[in-house]
Structure 1
Amino acid sequence: MELSGIVEFFDVLVGYEVALWSAIDGELTRHGAISLGQLHALRVVDRYDGLARVQDLSEAIGITVGAASKLVDRLERDGLAARGPNPANRRSSLIALTPAGEHALAAAIQVFAHALSRALADEDVEATTATLRRLQTRLGEPSPGVAV
């Protein structure tokens, strides 16, 4: 493969990711919903059903443990999540959605799904997802499997 084609692929891929994030985040804002960053974090916490650790959030989102801890601090400050004791490990805590977090997640998911469907239109999402997962595996990175 030619170097210019590889570089162009990278530029287009990253540019699309940034543009997609901005478009969906803007749509959430227009509807008075939580930010896309908050939605991403709440989806991870929800997937663990009250048993999420900061480490789990860090791994699922692809950020440092310190950044994940600060993210949880902000979610707690906004009343969307709460930390509680972890009976299996006294040095860590478990993160759960609050009722306000559950409500915010449910409301934002509707806007998110609609905006994402519009952005993807009639694209072959399954094939594109399979290609991206394959490429991700080549990097030795697990595919983030956060289901809506």
Structure 2
Amino acid sequence: MSHVTPIFTDLVRVETRLYNAVSARLRAEHGLGLGQFEFLEIIDRVPGCRVLDIVGEVAITVGAVSKAVDRLVAAGWCLRVAHPHDRRSSVLRLTAEGEKLLAASRPVVEGELASLTAGVPADDLVRVASTLAVLRASLEAGSHGQPG
């Protein structure tokens, strides 16, 4: 077994436990899953956001992102608006309700993550963040793990 395998296993288990805990709290307090929160964050942050912009960030298929966006639209949290320069495409925008939900959800996500990582020294978290940023950039530059 390579020395990287246990690191990968720990990384996946930590991610799963963090994700599930934050998602459960968000769902309990705001009726919103962490995946939905992430999509709302991306739509809010990326000017002229399209489905492909979300695909590029989360590395899942166009079909999966499109279905998830449809659910956000159905919930009244975002809109698909005709792209001003390409009628075959649409731009995603948060509704007023989506903006309110996102603003109310951000402190929940931050608070839960802070609580879950409180036992880890800040210097260690900084090192982990730096290492993960390098690994993510390397994987994204090589387009490993991109949806097919």
TM class, shorter-length: 0.7 to 0.9
Give distance in 1, aligned partners of 2:59 and 2:102: 20
Note the residue ranges of structure 2 that are not aligned, 5 or more in a row: 143-148
Alignment match of 1:93 (pick from 90, 99, 107): 90
User: After TM superposition, which residue ranges in structure 1, 4 or more long, deviate above 3 angstroms?
Assistant: none
Take 2:97 and 2:140, find their aligned partners in 1: how far apart are those partners?
Answer: 37
Calculate the aligned-residue CA RMSD, in Å: 1.6
What is aligned with 1:10?
8
**Given the superposition, is the C-alpha separation of residues 131 and 65 from structure 1 closer, same or farther in structure 2, using an over 3 Å criterion?**
same
Matched pairs, number? 139
Q: What's the counterpart of residue 35 of structure 1?
A: 33
Offset, 1:77: 0.4
Aligned twin of 1:25: 23
Percentage of matched positions with identical amino acids:
36
Q: TM-score of the superposition, structure 2-length normalised?
A: 0.86
Q: How much does 1:36 deviate?
A: 0.5
Give the corresponding residue for 1:132: 132
Mapped to 1, the partners of 2:131 and 2:88 lie a distance apart of 39
CA displacement 1:4-39 (0-9 Å, x = unmatched): 532111111101100110011111123234111110
SS at structure 2 position matched to 1:94:
strand
Say whether the 8 Å CA contact 1:42–1:101 is kept in structure 2: yes
Q: Which has the higher contact order (CA 8 A, sep 6+)?
A: 1
**TM-score of the pair, normalised by structure 1:** 0.86
Give distance in 2, aligned partners of 1:123 and 1:12. Answer: 19
